[in-house]
A and B are shown apart, each in its own frame.
Chain A
Amino acid sequence: MAMNFILIFVAAVLTENAAFTYLLGMCPFISLSKSLRTASGMGAAVIFVITLTAIINWPIYHLILVPLGSELIYYIVFIIVIAGTVQLVEMIMEKFFPVLQAAFGIFLPLITVNCTVLAVSLFMVIKEYSYLQSVIYAFGIAVGWIIAIVIVAAINEKLELVGAMPKGMKGPGIIMVTAGILALSFLGFSGMV
């Protein structure tokens, strides 16, 4: 049983890496991976929100939508839960953890449109995971995404110093290519689980 959970976690972090295999959360990926600091700040906010929304969305889908026979509207329900959670987290942080708020508060509103969050909720329905499996899967996906964005940001910080680069390639272009090479190396993990 415990083995099963470990497998789901490792698969979510490495072999099914959200950024490099499923290509999720690319908008913040491109715009934030210019410095290591913002990348890790965003990462911390993402891990929190993804796990929290999985905890909330699973019971809503399986205990409310399925018995009522209204699975059709789950897109609307999930996105409202996500937007609500983000708002709530923002308010709680503002009131009780002003230091944390200052550190990654600005990234919170952006998370609503980070497709990783919605994708985790959709995938956990498609894969028919149990409650505990879903939460672990969500946490794993978030960790995988952070690993990806932090690696790319760290490489990109060094790339800024490179002088000889075509002008048009600077910025998003080179981030894409860096991510592509990293995605290639992450292919090496496939078959591990």
Chain B
Amino acid sequence: MAESKSVKTIMNGIWRDHPVFSMLLGICSALAVSNKIENAIAMGAGVTFVLLATGIIISLLRKIIPKQVRMIVYMITIASFVIIVDRVLKAYFPEISDSIGPYVGLIITNCIIMGRAEGFYVANNLGQSFLDALSNGFAYTYTLVAVAAVRELLGFGTLLGFQVMPDFMPRWVVMSMAPGAFFVLGTLIWITKTISGQTED
């Protein structure tokens, strides 16, 4: 029984209630930092770390936190871990930190984390919250990497910095800029919605 609940938690996270495609959470950063795969991986790792840490803290403290101030408690918890992510990126990956800059700080307002804290961690124990954080973080990361792969390939002709496209192919510069982000994510939403059959009528 416990097994099946865990499996359900994971499946909900990575496909059925996919944070980006079906809940439309965390779109800002999914669009803004997905111009290169390395940025996407760094952002995905950062969000996963904050999700895990917040999940652990909130699910452990869920009986102590008074209901009226829970939002502020989430915010402070999330912000503290975001500072850690920001410092680690600055110290060990200065180039990535330069290119995604302020968007690391914006992990605080990434609605995935707030959404999971309010919707899942307050009501579930440590183990379930851990699984949920892991699967949501993974879902977010693979979405970012998928968008980034398309944009980097078309915009720069590279994948993870290695040249893939032949030289005679023109670079599709728009793809590496803001409009490309909208088009690629819009198309991905279309594809996933069609596959999963969750259409709006």
A is bound by B: yes
- A-B contact sample (4 more), CB < 8 A, given A167-B193, A168-B190: A80-B75, A118-B106, A123-B102, A180-B180
Q: Is A25 an interface residue (CB 8 A)?
A: yes
CA distance A20 to B101 in the complex (A): 18
- Of all chain B residues, which has the CB nearest A177? B186
Complex Cα spacing A169 to B180, Å: 17
When the two chains form their complex, are residues A76 and B80 in contact, meaning their CB atoms are under 8 A apart? yes
Q: Are B106 and A27 in contact (CB under 8 A)?
A: no
B33, closest chain A residue (CB)? A23
Chain B 165-201, CB-CB to A under 8 Å as 1, else 0, gives: 0000000001001111111011101111110000111
User: Does A21 have its Cβ within 8 Å of any Cβ on chain B?
Assistant: yes
CB distance A22 to B32 under 8 Å?
A: yes
B27 contacts A30, CB within 8 Å?
Answer: yes
Inter-chain contact A26/B28, CB cutoff 8 Å: yes
A167 (CB) vs chain B CBs: closest residue: B199
Binds B, one of A44-52, A57-65, A109-117, A135-143: A109-117
CB contact between A180 and one of B25, B71, B186 (< 8 Å): that residue: B186
A residues near B (Cβ < 8 Å) are: 20-27, 29-31, 72-73, 75-76, 79-80, 83, 112-115, 117-119, 122-123, 126, 166-177, 179-181, 183-184, 187
- Interface majority SS (helix, strand, loop, mixed), chain B: helix
Q: Is B88 an interface residue (CB 8 A)?
A: no
- Tell me, rounded to whole Å, the shortest Cβ–Cβ distance linking A125 to chain B: 9
Q: How far is the CA of A7 from the CA of B155 in the complex (A)?
A: 31
Choose among A112, A175, A184 the residue that contacts B174 (Cβ–Cβ < 8 A). A184
How far is A96 from B193 in the complex, measured between Cα atoms in Å? 45
Inter-chain contacts of B26 with A (CB < 8 A):
27
With the chains together, A83 CA to B79 CA distance in Å?
A: 13
Chain B's interface size range is 35 or more
Partner of A75, one of B108, B194, B199: B108
Max count, chain A CB within 10 A of own CB: residue among B75, B79, B182, B191: B182
Which of chain A's residues has its CB closest to B34's CB? Answer: A23
What is the bound-complex CA distance between A183 and B185, given in angstroms? 14
Determine if A76 and B106 form an interchain contact, defined as CB atoms under 8 angstroms apart.
no
Known contacts A75-B82, A80-B75, A177-B183; is A122 also within 8 Å of B28 by CB? no
In this assembly, does B160 line the interface, its C-beta being within 8 Å of a C-beta of chain A? no
State whether A21 and B102 are in contact (beta carbons under 8 Å apart), knowing that A30-B24, A113-B111, A173-B193 are contacts in the complex: no
A123 to B177, CA, bound (A): 19
Please tell me if the beta carbons of A176 and B186 are within 8 angstroms of each other in the complex: yes
Can you report 14 A-B residue pairs in the complex whose CB atoms are below 8 A from each other? A22-B32, A24-B106, A27-B28, A76-B80, A79-B79, A126-B101, A167-B193, A170-B199, A173-B190, A176-B182, A177-B182, A180-B179, A184-B179, A187-B177
Whether the pair B186, A27 counts as a contact (CB closer than 8 A) is no
Cβ A173 vs Cβ B109 within 8 A: no
Residues of A with C-beta under 8 A to B87: 72
> Is B131 at the interface (CB under 8 A from chain A)?
no
Asked if residues B179 and A176 are in contact (CB atoms below 8 Å), the reply is no
